[in-house]
A and B are shown apart, each in its own frame.
Chain A
Amino acid sequence: MDGDDDLEAASGSPVVPEQITELLRAAEGGDREALDRLFGMVYSELRQLARRQLQVTPVHHTLSTTALVHEAYLKLSADARWSTRDRSHFFALAARAMRHILIDHARRRTRRKRGGSEAPLSLDDAQVPVHDRGEELLALDEALERLAAVDPELARLVEWRFFGGLSVEEVAQILEVSDRTVKRQWRTARAFLYQELSSQRFST
Chain B
Amino acid sequence: MSSPAPELFRRARACFEELVDLPEAERTARLAALADGEPQLAAAVADLLAVDAHASGFLEQPAMPSAVKAWLAATTEETVTLGQEIGPYRTVGLLGRGGMGEVYLAERADGQFEQRVALKVLRRGMDSDEILRRFLRERQLLARLEHPNIARLLDGGRAPDGRPFIVMECVEGEPITQWCAARGSPVEERLRLAVTCCEAVEVAHRNLIVHRDLKPSNILVNADGQVKLLDFGIAKLLGEDGEETLLTRAGVHVLTPAYAAPEQILGGPITTATDVYALGVVLYELLTGALPHDRRATTAAELSAKVSRETVERPSAAARKAMESEAGGDDRESRRLARRLSGDLDTIVLKALHRDPARRYASAAALADDLRRHLDGKPVSARPDTVGYRAAKFVERHRVGVAAAALIVLSLVAGLATALWQAKAARAQARRAEEAQRFLANVFLEADPDRSKGAQLTARDLLDRGAARVDGELANEPRLRAEMLTLLGNVYQQLALYPEAQKVFEKALALRKRLYTDSDPELAEAYRRLGTVLHKQAEYAAARPLLERALAFDEGRGDFLATADSLNNLASLARAESDLETAQRLAMRAVNLRSRNGPLDSPELAKTLNNLALTLWRQKKNAAAVRVFERALAIHRKNEGELSSLVAGTEDNLALVLREMGELQAASAHNARALAILERLYDRPHPTLAGSLNTAGLLAEERGDRGEAIRLYRRALAVFEQSLGPDHPDLVYTLQNLGIELAKNDDPQAALKLFQRGLQIREKAYGHKHPDVATSLLDVASAYRQIGDYAAAEPILRRSVALFRETVGPEHRRTATALLGLGELLTLRGRPMEAEPILRECLAIRRAQLKPEDPGITRAEESLAEAQKARRSS
Contacts and interface: CB of A to CB of B under 8 A. Distances in A.
Q: Verify that A and B bind, or say they do not.
A: yes
Interface of A: 4, 47, 50-51, 54-55, 57, 59-66, 68, 98, 101-102, 105-106, 108-109, 113-115, 120-121, 123-137, 139-140, 146-147, 149-151, 154, 158, 161-167, 184-185, 187-188, 190-204
A129 B247 contact: no
B652 to A, nearest CB: 15
Contacts of A162: 59, 62-63
A57 to B, nearest CB: 7
A62 B129 contact: yes
Interface string B672-696: 1001100100000000000000000
Contacts of A167: 62
Contacts of A61: 129
B1 A195 contact: yes
Contact of A134 (B55, B70, B672): B70
Contacts of B4: 150
B67 A128 contact: no
A164 B672 CA distance: 33
Contact of B62 (A132, A149, A161): A161
Contact of B17 (A54, A109, A188): A188
B253 A123 contact: no
Nearest to B216: A124
Interface string B252-278: 111111100000110100000000000
Given A64-B62, A65-B63, 14 more contacts: A57-B162, A62-B65, A62-B130, A102-B68, A109-B70, A128-B257, A130-B255, A131-B300, A162-B59, A188-B48, A191-B16, A196-B1, A202-B672, A203-B1
B215 interface: yes
B62 A126 contact: no
Interface in B293-347: 295-301, 303-304
Contacts of B602: none
A166 B158 contact: no
B247 A198 contact: yes
Interface string B17-42: 10011000000000000000000000
A124 B51 contact: no
B73 to A, nearest CB: 9
A96 to B, nearest CB: 14
A136 B67 CA distance: 11
A120 B254 contact: no
Given A50-B72, A124-B215, A150-B5, A59 B63 contact: no
Nearest to A185: B17
A65 B100 CA distance: 25
Interface in B96-125: 98-100
A163 B1 CA distance: 25
Contacts of B136: 59
B48 A191 contact: yes
A194 B70 CA distance: 24
Contacts of A63: 65, 68-69, 129
Nearest to A116: B298
B63 A64 contact: yes
A187 B672 contact: no
Contacts of B98: 125, 127
Ranked 4 nearest A-B pairs via Cβ: A65-B63, A127-B99, A199-B1, A105-B71
Given A126-B99, A188-B16, A197-B247, A102 B71 contact: yes
A43 to B, nearest CB: 12
B39 to A, nearest CB: 18
A57 B158 CA distance: 11
Contacts of A191: 16, 48-49, 51-52, 55
Interface string B43-55: 0000111011011
21 contacts: A4-B75, A47-B72, A63-B65, A68-B68, A102-B64, A102-B71, A121-B296, A126-B256, A128-B257, A128-B300, A133-B70, A140-B246, A150-B3, A150-B5, A151-B6, A162-B63, A166-B62, A167-B62, A184-B17, A184-B20, A201-B247
